[in-house]
Chain A
Amino acid sequence: MESIQDFLRSRADGDLIPWSAQAEAMERFGLPCRVVEELILALGLLPARYQRNRQTISTAQQQSLFRSRVAVIGCGGLGGYVLEELARLGVGTIVAVDPDVFEEHNLNRQLLATPASLGLPKVVAAAARIAEINPAATVIPCRTAYCQDNGDELLRGSHLVVDALDSIPTRLALADSCADLGIPLVHGAIGGWYGQVTTQFPGDDTLRQIYRNSSGGKGVEQQLGNPAFTPAVVASLQVAEACKVLLGEGEPLRRRKLVINLLDMEFEEIRFERHLAVVGK
Chain B
Amino acid sequence: MQITVKLFANFRLGRFITDTRQFPDGTRIADVINQLQIQATEIGTIMLNNRHADPGHRLQEGDRLALFPLVGGG
Contacts and interface: CB of A to CB of B under 8 A. Distances in A.
- Does B bind A? yes
Interface of A: 74, 76-79, 163-168, 171, 188-196, 209-215, 217-224, 226, 231, 257, 259, 261, 263-264, 268, 270-272, 276-281
Contact of B74 (A164, A192, A224, A261): A164
Interface string B7-44: 01110100001000000000001000000000011111
Given A209-B52, A278-B52, A189 B71 contact: yes
Contacts of B17: 264
Given A224-B10, A261-B8, A191 B71 contact: yes
The list of the 10 closest CB pairs from A to B, nearest first, reads A280-B57, A221-B73, A219-B70, A166-B74, A219-B72, A168-B72, A194-B9, A191-B73, A219-B71, A280-B54
B8 to A, nearest CB: 7
Given A261-B8, A278-B52, A278-B54, A221 B47 contact: no
Contact of B70 (A213, A257, A279, A280): A213
Given A166-B72, A191-B69, 5 more contacts: A78-B74, A213-B70, A220-B10, A279-B48, A279-B49
Contacts of B41: 215, 217
Given A76-B74, A279-B48, A270 B53 contact: no
A209 B46 CA distance: 11
A279 B51 contact: yes
A99 to B, nearest CB: 13
Is chain B's interface secondary structure helix, strand, loop, or mixed overall? mixed
A277 B72 contact: no
A278 B53 contact: yes
A280 B73 contact: no
Interface string B43-66: 111111111111111100000000
A219 B69 contact: yes
B15 to A, nearest CB: 13
A219 B71 CA distance: 4
Given A223-B10, A261-B8, A279-B51, A194 B69 contact: yes
A238 to B, nearest CB: 11
A211 B43 CA distance: 9
Contacts of A192: 9-10
Nearest to B73: A221
B71 A221 contact: yes
B57 A79 contact: no
Given A192-B10, A220-B9, A277 B74 contact: no
Given A210-B44, A213-B46, A259-B8, A279 B52 contact: yes
A8 B69 CA distance: 54
B72 A213 contact: no
